């Protein structure tokens, strides 16, 4: 079923503002090569001038405080990313995520929610498994992205499982939406040179590989060689959540030398354990012990949404079309990828105006 919003063309982020941010960030990244610590602090200060919004104000304020310490492990994490990543990739992804997603997009979301009977998440998590019969297709994911940008959603987490066969089409989707930021969690399969070249063209994206996966070392090596922005993700469940929130696993994750790392709760993980892991991630970010930045996918998405629009919501569209929110998994909605219908079902507002 097709949503009437699907064909709406959003006005989009301000091109002049984005161009000014682009030029300033580009200059800042060049200066970092000359004087890393001073320039990183300067770039963060500049971010507070250009990238506004409830969430980014809070984040950049925390980062400024942390970077006043010359021994902060964040400097090592940032320098790793700068050393291993093409400047344009860092710039395009950062601006799409920070300005389009959290500043401009947050404003649009708040405006839309005033007249809608449902909440709008700041980011969508979309899952696809090309080996699954009657599962979601790349075309349906692209429809979700078109609808989402019309609502103010400019950040997308794509979880690819089963096989890596559709990675080329996914990267085509990413290239078609340069105003958006994409984080793609890839299955544990080796990338071939053609696939690596396709990913490199998508400068508004980050790819992530499984923690300790059999193909991870080779894939990370290919990312570094081609200066592609990458991170590491780890899936946890009830059986190992405590090992994470009791700080028994983070050091091993840091040894992989990825500046950005993501924890993802599996579909059986309890809300209680997920909340504990998310709390641990927030604590580790404000009191860093390792040269990495650690996030929890669902927990931090909820926290960001609360700051942006005072709503605590999370939305994940599963491979089979089911809806996963903070409170439940809703089945039997494979017949539609209309975000208007899916948000009405999964994210209803209690007292819509």
Tell me the pLDDT tens digit for each residue of 82-103.
889 998 998 899 889 988 888 8
| Residue 3 maps to a domain | no
Verdict on whether the full-model pTM lies above 0.75: yes
| Residue 106 maps to a domain | yes
CATH code of the domain covering residue 168: 3.20.20
- Residue that wins the pLDDT comparison between 131 and 48: 131
Q: What is the pLDDT of residue 118?
A: 94
Owning domain of residue 116 = 14-346
CA distance readout (Å), 226 to 79, 222, 328: 17, 6, 41
Q: Which residues contact residue 182 at a Cβ distance below 8 angstroms, ignoring those fewer than 6 apart?
A: 156, 157, 158, 174, 202, 204, 205, 206
Q: What is the pLDDT of residue 33?
A: 61
Number of domains composing the chain: 1
**Per-residue confidence at 32, pLDDT binned at 50, 70, 90?**
low
Scanning 71-205, the segments in alpha helix (DSSP H) are: 73-84, 87-95, 105-113, 138-151, 167-176, 193-200
| Residue 7 maps to a domain | no
Q: Tell the residue number behind the tokens 């993700």, with chain if given.
A: 233
* pLDDT at 216 > cutoff 70: yes
| Residue 338 maps to a domain | yes
239 DSSP 8-state letter: T
- Residue that wins the pLDDT comparison between 99 and 270: 270
* pLDDT at 4 > cutoff 50: no
- Which letter, b or e, does each residue of 290-319 get, where b requires 16 or more Cβ atoms within 10 Å of its Cβ? bbbbbbbbbbbbbbbbebbbebebbbbbbb
273 DSSP 8-state letter: H
| Residue 60 maps to a domain | yes
* Mean pLDDT value across the chain: 85
Q: What is the pLDDT of residue 7?
A: 43
| Residue 177 maps to a domain | yes
Q: What is the pLDDT of residue 81?
A: 83
Q: What is the pLDDT of residue 312?
A: 80
Q: What is the pLDDT of residue 3?
A: 44
| Cα separation, 108 vs 152, whole angstroms | 5
| Residue 232 maps to a domain | yes
118 DSSP 8-state letter: B
| Residue 6 maps to a domain | no
Q: What is the pLDDT of residue 57?
A: 56
Q: What is the pLDDT of residue 56?
A: 55
Reading phi first (left if > 0) and then psi (alpha if -120 to 50, else beta), residue 330 is in beta
Burial class from Cβ neighbours inside 10 Å (0-12, 13-18, 19+) for residue 202 reads buried
């Amino acid at each position: 079923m097709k949503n009437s919003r699907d064909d709406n063309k959003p006005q989009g982020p301000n091109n002049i503002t984005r161009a000014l941010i682009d030029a300033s960030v580009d200059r800042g990244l060049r200066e970092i090569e000359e004087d890393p610590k001073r320039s990183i602090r300067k770039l963060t200060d500049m971010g507070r001038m250009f990238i506004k919004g409830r969430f980014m104000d809070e984040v950049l304020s925390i980062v400024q405080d942390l970077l006043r310490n010359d021994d902060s492990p964040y400097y090592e994490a940032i320098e790793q990313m700068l050393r291993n990543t093409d400047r344009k990739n860092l710039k395009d992804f950062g601006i799409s995520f920070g300005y389009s997603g959290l500043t401009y997009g947050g404003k649009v979301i708040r405006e839309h929610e005033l007249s809608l009977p449902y909440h709008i998440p700041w980011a969508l998590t979309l899952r696809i498994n090309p080996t699954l019969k009657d599962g979601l297709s790349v075309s349906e994911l692209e429809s979700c992205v078109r609808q989402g940008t019309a609502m103010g959603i400019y950040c997308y987490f794509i979880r690819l499982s089963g096989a890596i066969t559709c990675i080329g089409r996914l990267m085509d989707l990413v290239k078609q939406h340069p105003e958006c930021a994409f984080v793609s969690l890839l299955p544990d399969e080796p990338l071939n040179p053609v696939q690596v070249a396709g990913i490199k063209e998508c400068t508004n994206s980050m790819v992530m590989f499984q923690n300790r996966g059999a193909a991870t070392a080779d894939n990370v090596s290919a990312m570094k060689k081609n200066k592609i922005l990458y991170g590491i993700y780890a899936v946890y469940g009830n059986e190992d959540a405590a090992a994470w929130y009791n700080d028994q696993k983070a050091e091993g994750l840091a040894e992989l030398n990825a500046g950005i790392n993501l924890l993802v709760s599996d579909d059986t993980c309890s809300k209680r354990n997920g909340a504990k892991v998310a709390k641990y991630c927030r604590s580790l970010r404000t009191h860093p012990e390792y040269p990495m930045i650690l996030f929890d996918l669902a927990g931090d998405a909820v926290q960001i949404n609360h700051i942006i629009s005072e709503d605590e919501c999370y939305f994940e569209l599963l491979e089979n079309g089911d809806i996963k929110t903070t409170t439940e998994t809703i089945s039997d909605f494979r017949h539609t990828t209309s975000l208007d219908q899916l948000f009405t079902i999964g994210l209803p507002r209690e007292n819509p105006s």
